[in-house]
């Protein structure tokens, strides 16, 4: 009972950013509706999808914010955050960022919240990311920067998940796919850099959060499956 009371201190709003995501979106939406810890509110920001993404969202009765096709990810997230009601008071507000090509495991949100419940210094927590098709393929457990300035996961190419990186880890940042971010800190830091339209906004935000004195962690008990559709050029 005590654990349940602690979890209920948090209010979670999921923001789905969609861009021609019909291939993955049905599983993404189904995954959100089947969370063991229900999401308090869900909104989608659609960047003028040309496929059936809008119809899929409407069928799921998810509120939609329409954005320009040229809208970057950070700008889309900002639109989603601005649409949220201000329910602050006795609750801690979190925004859960969901790509249209990622599907959280049923316990993902529950474990994300469990990881931060006794860590008030945490601004952002991310899950273990596994492949969409090969669900033993370990994609990320937090991210950092290599000596040459490149985004660095610390993993081998096509590394097989055997629990070798499991645990809760302090990291520079986490992917925006499935990241849970405290709303007040997100707004305090000005959100994502809108000049970074698609890639590396995760590293930039995590870095700024840590410079501001906050912590960023990854917890592998929370799992999200990610198709990486843009990075692997499965869509333009």
150-180 tens-digit pLDDT:
777 878 888 998 988 899 999 999 999 999 9
Q: How far apart are CA 8 and CA 184, in angstroms?
A: 18
The pTM for the full model equals 0.91
Q: What are phi and psi of 3, to 5 degrees?
A: -65, -40
First to last CA, the chain: 47
Confidence at residue 221, expressed as pLDDT on a 0 to 100 scale: 97
- Percent of the residues in the chain that have a pLDDT greater than 70, as a whole number: 91
Averaged pLDDT, 76-84: 95
Collapse the DSSP code of 3 into the 3-class scheme (helix H, G, I; strand E, B; otherwise coil) and give the result: helix
Task: Lowest mean pLDDT of 95-99, 107-111, 156-160, name the range.
Answer: 156-160
For 228-231, the CB contacts below 8 A with 24+ separation are 228/101, 228/132, 228/139, 229/21, 229/23, 229/24, 229/101, 230/101, 230/198, 231/199
Maximal C-alpha separation, the chain: 49
Confidence at residue 123, expressed as pLDDT on a 0 to 100 scale: 97
């Amino acid at each position: 009972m005590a654990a349940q009371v602690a979890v209920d201190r948090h209010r979670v709003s999921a923001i789905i950013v969609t861009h021609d995501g019909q291939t993955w979106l049905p599983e993404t939406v189904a995954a959100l509706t089947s969370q063991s810890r229900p999401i308090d509110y869900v909104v989608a920001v659609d960047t003028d999808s040309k496929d059936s993404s809008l119809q899929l969202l409407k069928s799921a009765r998810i509120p939609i914010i329409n954005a320009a096709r040229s809208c970057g990810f950070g700008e889309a997230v900002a639109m989603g955050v601005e649409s949220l009601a201000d329910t602050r008071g006795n609750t801690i507000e979190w925004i859960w960022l969901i790509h249209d090509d990622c599907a959280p495991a049923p316990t993902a949100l529950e474990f994300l919240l469990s990881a931060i419940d006794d860590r008030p210094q945490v601004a952002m927590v991310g899950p273990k990311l596994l492949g969409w098709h090969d669900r033993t393929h370990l994609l990320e457990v937090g991210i950092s920067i290599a000596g040459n300035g490149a985004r660095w996961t610390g993993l081998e190419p096509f590394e097989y998940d055997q629990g070798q990186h499991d645990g809760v880890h302090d990291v520079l940042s986490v992917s925006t796919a499935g990241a849970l971010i405290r709303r007040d800190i997100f707004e305090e830091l000005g959100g994502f850099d809108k000049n970074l339209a698609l890639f590396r906004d995760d590293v930039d935000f995590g870095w700024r959060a840590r410079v501001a004195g906050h912590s960023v962690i990854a917890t592998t008990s929370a799992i999200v499956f990610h198709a990486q559709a843009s990075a692997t050029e499965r869509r333009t």
